[in-house]
Amino acid sequence: MRRNKTPADVKKELSRKGVSVAGWARKHSVPQQTVRDLLSGKAKGHRGIAHRAAVLLGIKDGEL
């Protein structure tokens, strides 16, 4: 079973790869603020676009 990443893990990974939050959001057609909210803990990714972004980031398991 795969372990979900924490927001801190995702931030480190983006930094290591030299990818900005804005760049990642554009590439995956997700609003930049949604990604920022997920990484800061303001959003949990339960529904809609936040859910999609959380799954793509690896923060949660789910289906797209």
d(CA 53, CA 55): 5
pLDDT of residue 63: 86
- Model confidence pLDDT, tens digit, residues 28-63: 999 999 999 999 999 999 999 999 999 999 999 988
Structure tokens at 55: 């799954």
What's the pLDDT band for 1 if we cut at 50, 70, 90? low
- Residue 24 DSSP class: H
- Model confidence pLDDT, tens digit, residues 6-29: 999 999 999 999 999 999 999 999
Q: Would residue 58 be called left, alpha or beta, if left means φ above 0 and alpha means ψ between -120 and 50 degrees?
A: left
pLDDT of residue 33: 97
Amino acid at 53: A
